[in-house]
Amino acid sequence: MAGRFAPSPSGPLHFGSLIAAVGSYLIAKSRSSKWLVRIEDIDPPREVPGASDLILRQLEAFGLHWDDTVLYQSQRLERYSEIIEQLKSQDLVYACNCTRKKIKSISHNGLYPNICANKNLSFTGEVAIKLRHGHGDYSFIDKIQGPCRFSPEIDHEDFTIRRKDGLIAYQLAVVVDDIEQGIDHVVRGCDLLDSTPRQLRLYEVLSSSPPDWYHLPLAINSDGNKLSKQNHAPAIDGQQASHLLCLALEFLGHPIARELQGDSPENILKLAVNHFRLEQIPAEQQILYLD
């Protein structure tokens, strides 16, 4: 049994990242599971040099120590390609040469309208690879948010597993890794809630049981935007680890007594694990956070 925190090295961790890391840590430890760290470094154009090492140092400064070797997705490209070949042999994927502009001009809801599904295009050249949608029920019960059901358009969208530029898509890599690392519960922010039906489809075609899902509320600023690297959220400072850790725990419904807030990050996390109650995490998708 294991849970994981899987940041992308597009910059240092910020407060929103800390919430996800702490939430995943608490839930893993409350389940007596390992807590793993995976670096999702399969999108080189978005990566910042040195960010992977910085993220690991930040986690250590906050007392968030992982239980096994860090996995780097960039070292698993051959495995992802093997899975794609397997899906090709089962006729579960097809090539698509559509541009974003073309898809945008045709789609009325931003979703891909499966227009290359029956064209039998070659997999060679600059084409994306799409996974054919299934016919199952891709609703699920989230352990925090409750019952989750999406529109039929989302359930029936063929989605990308390898991009036109040859890079492996997030959806494929994350599911393959979760299966092969023995991840039995996934904890992440609500910004990834609508990725879950696609990932359930991947579990289906890979003949694997899906994990338990826990989607944490997102911290948003006064403009209504989530705290993110794209929105220039500041990096968390290891010199303020105990203070910021207590703020993250308070955000997650687990405030620490004032007299204990000056303790070490490790002791604060130990206390939080001992007093953890899943039902105290707010069942909201967004919460205003004012620094």
Q: In whole angstroms, what is the distance from residue 73 CA to residue 133 CA?
A: 25
3-state secondary structure (DSSP) of residue 227: coil
CB contact at 8 A, 84 and 77: no
125 φψ region: left (φ > 0), alpha (ψ -120 to 50), beta (else)? left
Q: In whole angstroms, what is the distance from residue 31 CA to residue 278 CA?
A: 11
Binding site members: 4-8, 40, 96, 98, 112, 116, 170, 188, 229
What kind and span of H or E run contains 248?
A: helix 241-251
Q: In whole angstroms, what is the distance from residue 137 CA to residue 132 CA?
A: 15
CB contact at 8 A, 114 and 188: no
161 φψ region: left (φ > 0), alpha (ψ -120 to 50), beta (else)? alpha
Number of alpha helices (DSSP H) and beta strands (DSSP E) in the chain: 9, 12
Expressed in percent and rounded to 5, the helix, strand and coil fractions of the chain are 40, 20, 45
Binding site members for L-glutamate: 4-8, 40, 170, 188
Binding site members for ATP: 229
Cβ neighbours around 213 below 10 Å, total: 21
Looking at 31-158, list the stretches that DSSP marks H as alpha helix, in order from N- to C-terminal side.
Answer: 51-61, 77-89, 100-106, 152-155
How many residues make up the chain in this entry?
291
The tokens describing 99, both together, are 């541009």
Binding site members for Zn(2+): 96, 98, 112, 116
